[in-house]
Structure 1
Amino acid sequence: MTRASVVMRGANVVIIDKAGLVASVILILGITAAGSAAAQDPTTDPNQTRPADLETARGLALGSGARATAVSTSAVAYNPAGMALARSYHIESQIHFEPASGRFAFGGGIADSSTNKLAMGTSFVGIMGNGETGYSGMDGRVAFALPLGDSFAIGVSGRYLSLGREGKAPPGTDQDAPVSEGFTMDGSFALSINVIRIAGIAQNFIEVGGLLAPRRFGGSVGLVIGESFTISGDLLADIDSFPNPEVITGGGLEFLAGGVVPLRAGYRYDSGREAHAITAGLGYTDANFGIETSLRQDVGNTDDTSVMIGLRYFVQ
């Protein structure tokens, strides 16, 4: 009995040792997995990183850009062909802040469709990250638009971006490797039929890699009623950020109160990130000068916030 008890106790000791070993292995694997998750680079996770899109205060306030009705400096950002559908010469500066990521963007642009038949525009934005996560760098563009008759135009823009990682790179990743860097292009057409505006758009159609400049294709439709009321909607397919193509859609309303106060509201939906956002903006504009503010607030699965302020000088 005593010997059997000793053997049983010995067996129990062995069982306990094996159980302890298994538990230790599970614990180590769990800690390793947690560490890997903590070290995951947010710039490789589409649910943590939005594309580094060029925005304007008007476009941000109107949901997904209101691309069919974008002109002047907004056309440089969203629909280069739109520059040719309105005669203007504008200079704009802007500040963009995202509180959740602590990221600032400063820059500006010029769009001239009055000096020559070939409309031209340019923009440059410097991006400052929080120093710990995400990215920082620069985004520069040059855009051209050519009217083909009174109601149709084509446009193209060249874009160079150089965006580097903020903070420590995850294991196995080159610390100095850019998150996204290279040259890409946008192309579009714009059609104006009475009050109707139609645009076809290809964004970043030269692949540069990464999540910050995905290839997108789609279109936009809008109505421009007089000089006071605009409504526009957009639909784009993102073919790079997720295993399958996902949709970015939205739209907005714009009313020019008293001829000097633009009031804007919109909605945006990103199916890949399951992100809904409401947008709004207001400002002041006269014959020579304009100031605009806008807000985008995610609701539902995400709670990101974007705030923009834009200043515009009307040369012509």
Structure 2
Amino acid sequence: MSLLQLGQTLRGRLGKYTITKQIQDTVWFARNQANETVVVKGVQGHPRVENERDALKRFQHSTTHLRPLLDEVQEPAEPPIIILKYLEDNLLSSSIKKTLNRQELKYVARSILKALKVLHKDKYVHTDVKPDNIFVNYKQGKNRFSEIQLGDLGGCYPADSSIARRGTPVGAAIWSSPEILMETPWNTATDIWSFGTVLISLIYGGDFNLFRPRTVPYGHEEYNLEVLKQQFRYFGPFPGKYQEIAGPETVLAILYLMHEIPQSQTTPFIRTTEREVSLRDKLFIGKIMMLDWRDRPTARELLEDRWFEQD
């Protein structure tokens, strides 16, 4: 039984909303009193919606690059239901329709980093940066995007929360950092890895993901391990100093990877042909995709990188 029904009216603090369409299990479209489309989110028995509400209340006034909270539903009072801004599309769908040109790529990259910079300044981690969580509005012109907003903050946690300190797996494996896949403590640097993964995917276009396993299907018990192997193949090896922050089990996992994929079988990303990825892009991506999270630049540092001035 769906939480909300088509035609149902919700009363918020600021207005009334009529459900018009269900998009996912916990997401609907609705019309507000001005007959504009808005996004409705509600879920029973899970803190995701409250989490997103609280994060947006805290951060949305500091940046235009987070999809904003518009209202909170008061009737029905339970479970928590929020009203979010509607955008025309997401980046996954945009990239499948047409690969981004240089101007679009830089505009998107800068927008995502601006959103992350705001979260990371207060040591909050998004944990689920991926193309289908980045929302877009369109316009005419060389850059077809008028607006880029990072959404879905339901998994946004402080870096000092127990979930981060315990190394609880979060997000989608193919966009996740090595530290998340190895279930070791994670922090804001994990979002930087995910940003790099998104950037690679946008350069190639379509539904491309460099780390998608070719040997096992999604849901297979070794799926995460195969993603980790792909990361190691393109951006390994782990530096020796990684053992300063890794427990004995993690060190064993890394030794296993090194044994499974000897240097002769790695395919370093920097060796990708110029025809596929330009040298400037490879160098920029190389700074981001560091297996040791301590070596990754911050969102603020990346925004100041010369890569944005090139072309």
How high is the TM-score relative to the length of structure 2?
A: 0.23
Q: Would you tell me which structure has more helix in proportion to its own residues? A: 2
With a CA cutoff of 8 Å and minimum separation of 6, indicate the structure with the bigger relative contact order.
1
Q: Would you tell me which structure has more strand in proportion to its own residues? A: 1
How high is the TM-score relative to the length of structure 1?
A: 0.23
Which structure has the larger Rg over C-alpha atoms? 1
